[in-house]
Amino acid sequence: MLFPLAVTLVASRRLGEHLSAQRYGLIALGFLGVVAVVRPTPGDFSLWALLVIVAALFLVLREFATRRVDPTIPPVVVALLTAVVLTSMIGLLSVFTGWGEITGAAVAALVVACGFLIVGYLCAIEAVRVGDLSVSAPFWYSAVVGAVVVGYVMFDETPDPLTWLGCALIVSAGVASARTDAHAMNQSSSHSS
């Protein structure tokens, strides 16, 4: 969940995107929500945690690379390239982690997940192409809320009060961020009229 913070900071420095103190505050609020849900401890840190940080850096690079792709190239091509790279990296990692049991239910869940992933990639690519990276990045926090819902529905994991609080912070930060952007666009269009 370092990704939204990192991409926003890099976008402000490299692309000159204007970020208000309110925008930084909302991103920090979303991050606090993630921390409330995930609750990392020092004992959780391992070599795999370092890999997650490296993955976040690659996500930042991917966002900026996507931003620079020629707009005439269809989003499906960019999504396919991303899927090929990710599949290759996961295949390489599976050499070290092994495979679980492959069941019909696992294959069905994989097919459904792939469908959602494709739609997600296409939407993310379009968002990066038309909007500021600092605007779209905080919405990555919504994955945590989605994970809580999936945990509840698929694995019967009942969220505790701190998890609900974290989800509320994430959603509140996202809604406030979207409202801030809408307000800023209305202000700029009224000034240009």
Can you give the pLDDT at residue 189? 53
The pLDDT tens digits for 65-93 are: 788 888 888 888 888 888 888 788 888 88
The predicted model scores a pTM of: 0.59
Pick out the chain residues at pLDDT < 50. none
Can you give the pLDDT at residue 193? 53
* Number of Cβ atoms within 10 Å of the Cβ of 172: 14
- Contact predicate 129/71, CB 8 Å: yes
Can you give the pLDDT at residue 150? 86
Single out the residue of 141, 137, 138 nearest to residue 167, CA to CA: 141
Cβ neighbourhood burial of 99 (10 Å; 0-12, 13-18, 19+): exposed
Can you give the pLDDT at residue 50? 73
